[in-house]
Amino acid sequence: MDTLKGWVHEIRDMGGIKFIIIRNRDGLHQVTLPKKKVPPELFERVGSLNREDVVVVHGETKDSKARDFPTELIPDAITVVNAAETPLPLDPSGKVKAELDTRLDNRFVDMRRPEVQAVFSIRHTLLRHARAYLDAHGFWEVHTSRIISTASEGGTELFPITYFDKPAYLSQSPQLYKQMCMAGGFERIFEIATYFRAEEHNTTRHLNEATAIDIEMSFIEDEEDVMRVLESLIHHTVAGIVADCQDELATLGVALTVPPLPFKRLTYDEAVDLLRSKGSDIAWGDDLGTESERLLGEEMAAQGHEYYFIKRYPRNKVFYIQPDGKYCRGFDLDCKGVELTSGGQRCHEHATIVSRLEEFGLNPASFTDYLKIFRYGMPTHGGFGFGIERWLMEMLDQKNVRECILFPRDRHRTTP
């Protein structure tokens, strides 16, 4: 006797024989009820089942004549654990497509779809392999606080919250804490961090709550030490997904290949030259906008590079990145024209970081807590923040970053 637990995916009533397709995380399974081989009461009761009822089926497994199933269950008992109401808010079988907004409004039903489960199975596998890689290379996993007291980090807008009677904000990056861990002698750390960004963007690749693999490492020579960790991390993680997720990739129709090492290095100067040769009027020192990133992505694809670094940015990129003449030691990692990672070698000397703040028109006096960590023995260090949702979106050719996070928070959505 075997037991099958799951959701009623479909009922095909042929009159004298009935088929119930049961769906669970393992896939689809067939329950077959020939009129003369199952209890009459059970045969009749199948008519009262609804799609998406949760059932437990007891019966005998036999070889099946079905095209899609090697075996089938001939039941002697079917227990309805919980009936589903009708009509359903959307069709989990995918016969009738639903818009993303409808799907997200009813995410728990949407999550029953094999395509959605494939994305999140791969997401889990991605994190499993990334953790294993970082662990094998001496990185400790840490959890830093998401609640910060001041907006002194500059840059993006923060979400204000109330912390008892004090104002506070949701963290937009674990950057300060990662650097504090370097000052604290942890040498190599990573964090699977949540980022909150209060920007009113409205695109298919932005979230107001996103997740990233953040690492920081000490005693580096330059940013190349960090970049090597990043490219190896990607290489090994993708290899792990290819090895473990063939079913999921097939469900999504994605042909995933492991990107060869080392990744292409493009300097900012080369990127600007390339863009100008393609007709862009970008000036030296300008940020690479969406259009520029897209153009570079096309050009790199033409050269056979899916993933590529852009390094040696102008020194005005970010204040805490180590300057190097007119350049700095920051880098981005792009994939197919979309930025996935931002990182670099950080300033580690107190005098340098103070002069960098002044260079950026910021007041060192308002960075007292941050500056303190550079005063009592700070090693050279660097790291990166690597957006998980964006990576998955590019890897799995998803059209919208919201496909790669269970409960997206965007400009308008705070539920579910």
Partner RNA sequence: GCCCGGGUAGUGUAGUCCGGUCUAUCAUACAGGACUGUCACUCCUGUGACUCGGGUCCGAAUCCCGGCCCGGGCGCCA
Which residue, 218 or 341, is less far from RNA as judged by CB?
A: 341
| Dist CA 333 CA 394 (whole Å) | 13
Could you tell me the sign of the dihedral formed by the alpha carbons of 45, 46, 51, 53, in that order? positive
Residue 199 is a catalytic residue: yes
Residue 390 is a catalytic residue: yes
Residue 206 is a catalytic residue: yes
Q: At its nearest, how many Å lie between RNA and the CB of residue 20?
A: 9
Could you tell me the sign of the dihedral formed by the alpha carbons of 243, 248, 249, 251, in that order? positive
Q: At its nearest, how many Å lie between RNA and the CB of residue 171?
A: 9
Residue 413 is a catalytic residue: no
Marked catalytic residue, from 9, 248, 342, 381: 342
Which residue, 68 or 165, is less far from RNA as judged by CB?
A: 68
| Dist CA 102 CA 402 (whole Å) | 13
Contact 269, 154 (CB under 8 A): no
| Dist CA 7 CA 53 (whole Å) | 6
Marked catalytic residue, from 205, 312, 356, 381: 205
Residue 329 is a catalytic residue: no
Residue 112 is a catalytic residue: no
Q: At its nearest, how many Å lie between RNA and the CB of residue 14?
A: 4
Which residue, 43 or 307, is less far from RNA as judged by CB?
A: 43
Which residue, 91 or 224, is less far from RNA as judged by CB?
A: 91
Residue 205 is a catalytic residue: yes
Marked catalytic residue, from 157, 339, 355, 366: 339
Which residue, 126 or 176, is less far from RNA as judged by CB?
A: 176
**Cα→Cα distances 28→7, 72, 92, 93, Å:** 10, 11, 13, 11
Contact 198, 158 (CB under 8 A): yes
Q: At its nearest, how many Å lie between RNA and the CB of residue 50?
A: 6
Neighbours of 281 (CB within 10 A): 7
Marked catalytic residue, from 199, 349, 358, 359: 199
Marked catalytic residue, from 206, 228, 265, 294: 206
Q: At its nearest, how many Å lie between RNA and the CB of residue 75?
A: 13
DSSP H helical segments within 281-373, as ranges?
A: 290-302, 350-359, 368-372
Residues catalogued as catalytic: 197, 199, 205-206, 339, 342, 390
